[in-house]
Every structure is written in C-alpha cells, then in structure tokens.
Structure 1
Amino acid sequence: MLEPIRLKVGDAIPGFTEGPLTPELFVAYAAASGDYNPLHTDPNFAQAAGLDGVIAHGMLVMGMLGRLATDIAGPSGLLHFQVRFRAPTRPGETLHVGGTITSAESLPDERIMVTADLWARGDGEQLKAVGTMMAMV
C-alpha cells in the first residue's frame, strides 16, 4: 500500500511494467479464468474473425489495473473500480500501468479518501485501457 502522506492531487502513482506478454500467458489466463474464447488462444480462429492474431483477455488487462488499485487501497480499502478498454493488447507487447491521484481528502478518523485515474499503455504509448478508482486509506 502507498504511504497515505504521499497521496497528493496530481501525483503520479508508482506503476509497473508487465511483459512482453506471451501467447502462453493468454493460455494460462484462459485456464485460470475459465474464459476459453479462442480469440485469445487460437491464431487461426482470431484471423478468421478478422483480427491480425490473438488478443489478450480484457480481464487480464483489467486485472493489472486492479493490481495497481489495490497497491493504493490495501487489502480492504477499495470502494470503487471501473475500467474502459481502448485498444486490444497482443502477444509481444509490454504493458506500462500507472495513474494519477485526482483527489485526496483527509477524513476526521485520520484516513484519506483517495480517487485516481489509472491507465495501461502498450508499446509506443498506445492507450490500452483507462480506469478510475476510489479508496479509503
């Protein structure tokens, strides 16, 4: 969990990089999630569906943003989390996950109500997903 004293409006959230992502990761995520849609694991199926190849599960990318949100909120502080997808993520890409604190309000019980904008960017800074979160820290 991030130090509450350091949560100031406009501050960048220390993020992380994941990747390069592999087809094997997509297959492992399919097994873990139970989402066996062949768009994520079968290149021939994905091409027949009009894609250039397989794409990552949206929930895999969302999970990375969720990891960042829980880094801020701790195990029980997350109150709101929302994600919107902007572009598909493909094998070989590296995701850069981060965000910005948009509000940090001190509460009478010494906790802080924090909101933040989150993002996942691929290679070339292409925006893959954006999110918002609210937490009590």
Structure 2
Amino acid sequence: MRPPVRAQVGHAHPDRTVGPLTLTDVVRFAGAGGDFNPLHHDPGFVAAAGFPAIVSMGQLQAGMLAGWLSDWVGVEHVREYEIRFIAPVFVGDVLTLGGKVTVIRQQGAERLATIELTAAKGDGSAAVLGRATVVVDG
C-alpha cells in the first residue's frame, strides 16, 4: 500500500484529457456492463430519439473519473465517491477530467480531504460532477 498523498485546500492534480470517444469505446463498455440500450450503438435509433450522435453511458464517464482519482490518491485511500450526471456525452466528445481539494478535516485517526470532481466536455461544459472523500497526509 502506498502512503497517502500530501494535500492542502486548493490543491488540484493535473487534469487528464480523454477522447475523442469512439463507438468502439462505448460498445466495449456496453459489452462489459451488459448495457445494450440502442442509444449506445444504433445510429438510426439515436437519430430518431433526437440526439446528434451515439450516446455514451454515464457510467463510462464515472469510471474514467474514478480512474483519474485513484491514479492520483490510490484506490486504497478513497472512502467515498459520488457523481451526478449533468449532460450527455457523445461519440466524438473529448473530456477533461479533474478536481481540487476543497476541505480537509480530521476524522478519528484519518485526515480526510474532500475533492470536488468534474468531467468537462470540449466546450468546457460539465458532463459529470462529483465529490470524493479521500485519506491524505499533512
């Protein structure tokens, strides 16, 4: 187990850019998770539903954001992780994953940081917002 990262309020880990998302990315995730909603693979269905492109499932973005977080702090230090889907993400979108420490508090023997998370689309608009509680060092 690696030691907790050092952090202070306002600290932001470098963003990660992913994409552009491909149909292959979405279909592979659908296969792994068993989500075969036609919005995730059928262009005709997607067009009839009024969307401009194949829709990526929210859990794909949530997983990418969780990966960014755990690469930063170590999965063993994550105590809570919650997300809220704000806007659909489409095949072709580029996402920027990031976050910053907003609160640090002592809880028993652990020093916990709250990290506000975001997955933003190429135009800067939020697709996913989230919050994590992680163990940090002084």
TM over 0.5: yes
Partner of 2:112: 113
Q: CA deviation at 1:86?
A: 1.1
Partner of 2:48: 48
Partner of 2:5: 4
SS in 1 for 2:115: strand
Query: TM-score if structure 1 supplies the norm length?
Result: 0.88
Correspondence 1:136 to 2:135? yes
Correspondence 1:123 to 2:122? yes
**What is the distance in 2 between the residues matched to 1:2 and 1:95?**
29
Percentage of identical aligned residues: 33
Show structure 1 runs of 4+ deviating over 2 A: 1-5, 104-109
**What is the distance in 2 between the residues matched to 1:73 and 1:89?**
26
**What is the distance in 1 between the residues matched to 2:115 and 2:59?**
20
SS in 2 for 1:36: coil
CA offsets per residue over residues 49-78 of structure 1, 9 Å max, x none? 222221111000010111122224413221
Gaps of 5+ in 2: none
Q: How many residues align?
A: 135
Query: TM-score if structure 2 supplies the norm length?
Result: 0.87
Q: CA deviation at 1:2?
A: 8.8
C-alpha contact 1:40 1:55 (8 A) present in aligned 2: yes
**What is the distance in 2 between the residues matched to 1:2 and 1:42?**
45
**What is the distance in 2 between the residues matched to 1:59 and 1:108?**
32
Partner of 1:67: 67
Please show how residues 16-27 of structure 1 align to structure 2 within 5 Å: 16-27=16-27
**What is the distance in 1 between the residues matched to 2:3 and 2:104?**
13
